[in-house]
Amino acid sequence: MLDEIRTFVVLAESGSLQRAAERLCLTPSAVTRQIQRLEAALKTPLLDRRVKPGRITREGRAVLDGGRHMLRIMDDLKATGSKDAEPSGIFSIGLSHALAQPSLVASIQRLTSRFTRLQPVLSTGLRQQLIEQVRTGELDVALAFLSAADTPPGDVASSVLATERLVLVRARGPQPRARRSSKSTDRDLDARWVLNPPGCFIRQSLEARLRERGSPFEVAAAINNIDMQVSLVASGIGLGLIPARFLASHPKRRQLERLTRSGISIEASIVFMQAGHLGRLEPAATFLQEELRDHFAERAIR
């Protein structure tokens, strides 16, 4: 049954029958037969085949979590008697969109230099998505922006690496005004905004504070790309809310000015999370955590 479980995990991670077959060096029909055998052995449907491609069922999610855990244990057992038991294979790393910055590449390079058989796979997501993916084992580790009210679930090991201050910025020069009427006494904030899409706690925090002040909340751009956000703000399309560390080294920073008198202050924690039962990948997770801690300490904004 172990081969069938591995096939199911690869199918879930690949997202399609064809890609799973390519990764496993099997034909699509062979992948299908292995999934069917696993369903028959467990006496439960793992895929909802009423849609194309088939979606993993609720029962399938539970099997997927347990299957990943089982495969990791088996890999660790195989490595126990080997002279080369260092971390190897795929190492899934998740990043909050605002933290997916070029400056992190050096830390990833040092990780792969230290563990030459490791294959990092990076992806981005919203904080709740990352928390859930770490909790279920879909991600091995994640680096996320969390608010003070956010608490990772108890089955997710987490550590705060640094705190980050979000600063309000605008382009130097005249600003476009918001189209909606405003009761705010702070006209500097009566403009459109360049922010992340809905679901981002930073955006939600800003909107709540603006509503409290009677300022309009009108979005000019909703983009999960912090570099493009800075460029759009510098072009004068609207105001932005940018992590201070990122802004301090951005080439367009001199085209921007901070709104220091707004009275709006938003902070976030940069949190490293890792899944349970990492097995042989544990040293890689520890190494990356310390790399990232040093990375943010070196870039502290005073």
Per-residue pLDDT band at 276 (split at 50, 70, 90): confident
Answer whether 166's CB lies under 8 Å from 241's CB. yes
Per-residue pLDDT band at 176 (split at 50, 70, 90): low
What would the two tokens of residue 202 be?
Answer: 């930073």
pLDDT in tens, 184-221: 555 678 789 999 999 888 899 899 988 888 888 999 99
Average pLDDT of the segment spanning 144-169: 85
Start-end of H helices in 187-275? 201-213, 226-234, 244-248
DSSP 27-52: -HHHHHHHHHHHHHHHTS--EETTSS
Q: What mean pLDDT value characterizes the chain? A: 86
Give the pLDDT confidence score for residue 121 in this predicted structure: 93
Give the pLDDT confidence score for residue 170 in this predicted structure: 93
Model confidence at 302: pLDDT above 50 = no
Average pLDDT of the segment spanning 22-48: 90
Average pLDDT of the segment spanning 4-10: 89
Average pLDDT of the segment spanning 8-19: 86
Q: Find which of 82-86, 124-128, 146-150, 258-262 is predicted with most confidence, using mean pLDDT.
A: 124-128
Highest CATH level, class, for 1-81: mainly alpha
Report the topology of domain 164-267. D-Maltodextrin-Binding Protein; domain 2 (3.40.190)
Average pLDDT of the segment spanning 28-40: 91
Answer whether 271's CB lies under 8 Å from 164's CB. no
Give the pLDDT confidence score for residue 126 in this predicted structure: 87
Give the pLDDT confidence score for residue 69 in this predicted structure: 81
Give the pLDDT confidence score for residue 211 in this predicted structure: 87
Q: Could you count the other beta carbons within 10 Å of the beta carbon of residue 192?
A: 20
Give, in degrees to the nearest 5, the angle at Cα 203 between 290 and 226: 55
Q: Where are the domains of the chain?
A: 1-81, 164-267
Average pLDDT of the segment spanning 273-290: 90
Express as a percent the part of the chain with pLDDT over 70: 91
Express as a percent the part of the chain with pLDDT over 90: 41
Give the pLDDT confidence score for residue 216 in this predicted structure: 86
pLDDT in tens, 238-269: 999 999 888 888 899 999 999 887 778 888 89
Model confidence at 300: pLDDT above 70 = no
pLDDT in tens, 77-110: 766 545 456 888 889 999 998 898 888 999 999 9
3-state helix, strand, coil in the chain (%, to 5): 45, 25, 30
Give, in degrees to the nearest 5, the angle at Cα 116 between 113 and 118: 110
